Homo-oligomer: A and B are copies of this chain.
Amino acid sequence: MNIKPLADRVVIKKLEAEETTKSGIVLTGTAKERPQEAKVVAVGPGAMVDGNRVEMEVKVGDKVLYSKYAGTEVKVKGEEYTILKQDDILAIVE
């Protein structure tokens, strides 16, 4: 991965919607209502506040939920990514 986000930004890659519901039924087709899940592929060095770096809370590889519409979509070498501020990440899914 050759994108280095600045400050408190994070680069994520949207995950394909998982095909299995809680009850174990496998869904196919297009009519699926899903959260915005993504995988963290790059993490900035953290914002500067009063001369100190604020350590980031997410790390590369984390699976996260994020605000729909947050961030900017970019396409680098044919791959689509979203670059957003860590504050637009709602939670880490484990």
In the bound complex, how far is the Cα of B57 from the Cα of A9, in angstroms? 13
Which of B22, B50, B92 contacts A77 (CB under 8 A)?
B22
Whether A9 contacts B90 in the complex (CB less than 8 A), given A35-B75, A65-B83, A78-B21, comes out as yes
How many copies of this chain are found per oligomer?
Answer: 7
A76 touches B (CB below 8 Å): yes
A30 touches B (CB below 8 Å): no
Q: Could you list 17 further interchain pairs (A-B, Cβ under 8 angstroms) beyond the known A5-B90, A6-B90, A33-B75? A: A2-B93, A4-B91, A4-B92, A5-B91, A6-B58, A6-B86, A6-B91, A9-B91, A21-B78, A23-B78, A35-B76, A42-B91, A44-B91, A68-B72, A74-B90, A74-B91, A83-B91
